[in-house]
Amino acid sequence: MTDAHRTIDAVWKLESARIIAGLTRMMHDVGLAEELAQDALVSALEQWPESGVPDNPGAWLMAIAKRRAIDHIRRSQRLERKHEQLAHELEHQQDPEQDDVLRLMFISCHPVLATEARVALTLRLLGGLTAEEIARTFLVNEPRIAQRIAGAKRTLAEEQVPFELPDGSELAERLSSVLEVIYLIFNEGYSATSGDDLMRPGLCLEALRLGRLLAELVPHEPEVHGLVALMEIQASRSAARTGPSGEPVQLHEQNRGRWDQLLIRRGFTAMLRAREVGGTPGRYVLQAAIAVCHAQARTSEDTDWAQIAALYEALARLLPTPIVQLNQAVALGMARGPQAGLALVDSLIGDPTLQDYHLLPAVRGDLLVRLERYEEARLEFERAASLTRNVAERAFLRRRADEIAVTGASGVTLAQAAQDFLRRDDLNAETIRSYGQTLRRMCLTLGDQMPLASLTADQVTRMFATAWGEAAAKTWNRHRSAVRSFGAWASLEHLAAGLNRRAETRPRTATIGSPQLEALWSRPDLPLRERTLWRLLHESAAGVMAVLSLNVENLDLDDRRARAGDTWVSWRSETAQLLPHLVAGRTRGPLFLADRRPGPSRMPTQADLCPETGRRRLSYERAEYLFKQATKPLDPASNGYTLRQLKPRA
Amino acid sequence: MRYLMMSKASDTAPDENLYVEMGKFVEEMTAAGVLLATGGLESGGVHVTSSGDEITVTDGPFSEAKEVVVGFALVEVRSREEAIELTRRFRKIVGDGDSVIQQVFGP
């Protein structure tokens, strides 16, 4: 980039949100508005290097974009006088309104969009970031982000999402979606979930700016100020939370002199504004209050843990997620001693959502060290290290494990034994693969370094309940026989003692009730692929495998049927309406496609690959997972349904 | 990244209009989450010089009035170019004179 281009880029990032917002109000189409704004940007790139940056670059860009908008209307609707009049009005319209940017925020965080799409669109439309910049910060490739943004704009157009401010009860809901997106962006920057760096400061800055902007736009919402306070104070610790070689430094070990007092004061100010507005403290105000407690403590010993534990208790009532409870356990451990903390942590061990969450064993390890149960603590740190995807964090956890001297002769570890067991040559490849799954899970949950001799049937039973308690009997039994075989080989026959074989005769699959089905069909946020697949399964009553195996070239859209192997799958009107959109010009290849292209090492056979998009056929597992997730809120038991249950009662 | 923008004294006397324009600009930049802190500085100030063990304190004003910083703004931006762009807009409002922008490291 030349200097002029860099200047234009800077101007663009400062102005684009307002320009796009103003254009969206005129054109009622955010996708079109963004294109017109981009056109204006192209003009700037052509003219400014010669003419220099104009005095009021924002107004310049807006004027050009407006002219393009008028051209666009005249071109597309040349013959209708009504539109001529509209174009005339546009020419004399006022400057963009202050609220337009707020409207734009509500649109780009609209619930009809998937969370990932909301994040990408917000960074794009409000942060002025290019698809390439967004891709780089999220470590994914550019076409995927571009696709995500294009898809989001399409969905907004299809759903005819209006450019307006929600009111009443809807406002609270929509606002919480905006706050969620901003905090997600912040967190992705603050605690990068993958990759080599612990932080991506650019994302934190974007989130902070969006938050501060939002606080000015909706000053009467305490949660907005709460979120800003939370982010300012968390950001104030950025410099202190990584060591010289990029390793994480825990809060209580941080050099508080390196906390950014300016940001802390800004956080306090935001918190005061939240208090002034009043109301029952929400999740962000509570979290900010916790952050304020930490920021007020001059040394870690001064921390008011009793207050923090009380705030976490309130937060856990509002937001009873296992992660909040885990944090509450840390606070309890500090306020009332490690035993109290450990008791709460241990109650979370059986929670399936935490089974691969590295901070659970890390916190447990901390508490165990304080209880002087060093050997157990070391295993927990080892396990935490093997679970995290972040390189710096893994090294840190390894070091914590290494700091605890190995006591006694612990002998063979679980990981070594598992490796030797799988290396035997009397097992066929399929068995090794199956046993491998079971043993990998065991190593992850119980720790690679767990001494084989200390492994108890109790631990295995608990681990099974967490990992496969909800699984089908067949799955449970497969893992059970793997443990039995492993136990016999290692002369630990008792290992599977607590695992009962489960009866595999499956009860007749219950179908989904019609109120649930109606609720499912009326949900506006269902992606086209899912909607089509589920409608088709329901209308055709065909097997899931048969439906997923359909190819575009086998469809007979006119006769509403398709050949699947030896049978026919046929459908009715609802599917018939959806199918042409899903096919969208494709002429052959799998009908239902996965979201992304397969990696080079996982290339499927030619028959399962779409020749046009390069994506693979949607797998049964993925389809089942998506359905289960989507139907959890509908199921009175909150388990979600299986695709087979879409088949209507015979 | 943060930049400190410092403005030096100028000959033009500020008028009513300038205050209004400046107020608007500061408000806008604060709302956008860009401006972290800003303020005006007294024109004299105190010089504190150390030489060896000796500390000398001298009250202003000093002769080089044009070199004296009279105002500052601490901004948080994505790039150097954004800082320059903001300074450009600031200078448009205040008229003839000098500003210096320097990146801030730390704390």
- CB-CB neighbors (< 8 A) of B107 in chain A: 239, 258-262
What pLDDT does residue A341 have? 95
What pLDDT does residue A454 have? 80
What pLDDT does residue A334 have? 92
Residues A264 and A373 occupy one common structural domain:
no
| Closest-CA distance of chain B to residue A292, Å | 19
The top-scoring range by mean pLDDT among A124-138, A298-312, A559-573 is: A298-312
Residues A177 and A268 occupy one common structural domain:
yes
Q: Is residue A387 part of a domain?
A: yes
- CB-CB neighbors (< 8 A) of B36 in chain A: 262, 266
The mean pLDDT of A338-361, rounded to a whole number, is 89
- The domain that contains A528 carries what CATH number? 1.10.443.10
Cβ-based burial of A550 (10 A; exposed 0-12, middle 13-18, buried ≥19): buried
The model's confidence at residue A1, banded by pLDDT at 50, 70 and 90, is low
What is the extent of the structural domain holding A390?
356-407
Size of interface A-B (CB pairs under 8 A): 56
Taking the C-alpha atoms of residue A617 and residue A601, their distance in angstroms, rounded to an integer, is: 16
Residues 6+ apart with CB under 8 A from A447: A361, A379, A380, A382, A383, A386, A414
Q: Is the pLDDT of residue A497 over 90?
A: no
The mean pLDDT of A344-367, rounded to a whole number, is 89
Q: Who among A6, A9, A258 is closest to B107 (CB)?
A: A258
Count of alpha carbons within 13 angstroms of residue A461, beta-carbon side: 11
Q: Is residue A625 part of a domain?
A: yes
Alpha-carbon dihedral A584, A588, A593, A596, rounded to 10 degrees: -90
A11 touches chain B (CB under 8 A): yes
What pLDDT does residue A135 have? 85
The mean pLDDT of A540-553, rounded to a whole number, is 89
Q: Is residue A19 part of a domain?
A: no
| Closest-CA distance of chain B to residue A104, Å | 15
What pLDDT does residue A94 have? 53
Residues A520 and A616 occupy one common structural domain:
yes
Residue from A227, A239, A14 nearest A127 by CA: A14
Q: Is the pLDDT of residue A634 over 90?
A: no
- Please identify every stretch of chain B with a pLDDT value under 70, giving residue numbers as ranges: 63-66, 107
Residue from A500, A416, A400, A506 nearest A452 by CA: A416
pLDDT tens digits along A453-480 = 788 888 888 888 888 888 888 888 889 9
The model's confidence at residue A542, banded by pLDDT at 50, 70 and 90, is confident
Q: Who among A9, A10, A209 is closest to B33 (CB)?
A: A209
Percent of chain A scoring above 70 in pLDDT = 93
Residues A419 and A403 occupy one common structural domain:
no
Q: Is the pLDDT of residue A18 over 70?
A: yes
CB-CB contact of A574 with A535 (8 Å): yes
Architecture of domain B2-104: 2-Layer Sandwich (3.30)
| Closest-CA distance of chain A to residue B63, Å | 33
Q: Is the pLDDT of residue A78 over 80?
A: no
The model's confidence at residue A247, banded by pLDDT at 50, 70 and 90, is confident
Q: Is residue A323 part of a domain?
A: no
What pLDDT does residue A92 have? 59
What pLDDT does residue A213 have? 92
Q: Is the pLDDT of residue A387 over 80?
A: yes
Which residue, chain included where needed, has tokens 């905090």?
A: A183
Q: Is residue A282 part of a domain?
A: yes
pLDDT tens digits along A266-285 = 999 999 999 999 888 999 99
Domain extent listing, chain B: 2-104
B57, β-bridge pairs: B48
- Scan residues 341-400 of A and list those with Cβ closer than 8 Å to B: none
- CB-CB neighbors (< 8 A) of A6 in chain B: 79, 81
Residues A380 and A259 occupy one common structural domain:
no
Which residue, chain included where needed, has tokens 């990068």?
A: A192
What pLDDT does residue A343 have? 94
What pLDDT does residue A198 have? 61
pLDDT tens digits along A413-435 = 888 888 888 887 777 888 888 88
Taking the C-alpha atoms of residue A226 and residue A203, their distance in angstroms, rounded to an integer, is: 19
Residues A399 and A423 occupy one common structural domain:
no
Residues A272 and A193 occupy one common structural domain:
yes
| Residue contact A266–B36, C-beta within 8 A | yes
Q: Which of B2, B85, B105 to mutate to test the interface with A (most CBs of A within 10 A)?
A: B85
Alpha-carbon dihedral A10, A241, A193, A339, rounded to 10 degrees: -150
| Closest-CA distance of chain B to residue A53, Å | 10
What pLDDT does residue A333 have? 94
Residue from A302, A316, A321 nearest A251 by CA: A302
ipTM over 0.90: no
Q: Who among A202, A213, A258 is closest to B31 (CB)?
A: A213
The one-character DSSP state at A479 is H
Q: Who among A10, A53, A210 is closest to B79 (CB)?
A: A10
What pLDDT does residue A84 have? 59
B58, β-bridge pairs: B47
Residues A473 and A568 occupy one common structural domain:
no
The model's confidence at residue A410, banded by pLDDT at 50, 70 and 90, is low
Q: Is the pLDDT of residue A61 over 90?
A: yes
pLDDT tens digits along A152-205 = 999 998 888 888 888 878 888 899 999 999 998 998 888 765 556 666 778 889
Residue from A318, A319, A360 nearest A341 by CA: A360
Task: Identify the closest residue of chain B to A8 by CA–CA distance.
Answer: B81
The total domain count for chain A is: 4
A59 touches chain B (CB under 8 A): no
- CB-CB neighbors (< 8 A) of A186 in chain B: none
pLDDT tens digits along A504-526 = 765 556 778 888 888 888 887 78
Instruction: Give yes or no for a cis peptide into B61 (omega within 30° of 0).
Output: yes
What pLDDT does residue A650 have? 56
State both tokens at A529.
């692929």
What pLDDT does residue A108 have? 93
Residues A637 and A575 occupy one common structural domain:
yes
| Residue contact A216–B30, C-beta within 8 A | yes
pLDDT tens digits along A579-589 = 988 988 888 89
Q: Which of A61, A216, A225, A266 to mutate to test the interface with B (most CBs of B within 10 A)?
A: A216
State both tokens at B49.
């010089």
Q: Who among B33, B37, B92 is closest to A213 (CB)?
A: B33
Cβ-based burial of A447 (10 A; exposed 0-12, middle 13-18, buried ≥19): buried
Residues A421 and A476 occupy one common structural domain:
yes
The mean pLDDT of A635-649, rounded to a whole number, is 83
Specify the 3-state DSSP secondary structure of A567.
strand
| Residue contact A262–B36, C-beta within 8 A | yes
Which residue, chain included where needed, has tokens 């989450």?
A: B33
Residues 6+ apart with CB under 8 A from A387: A356, A357, A358, A361, A444
| Closest-CA distance of chain B to residue A178, Å | 17
DSSP string, A210-242: HHHHHHHHSTT-HHHHHHHHHHHHHHHTGGGSB
| Residue contact A13–B82, C-beta within 8 A | yes
Residue from A124, A1, A137, A130 nearest B81 by CA: A1
Mean model confidence pLDDT for chain A: 86
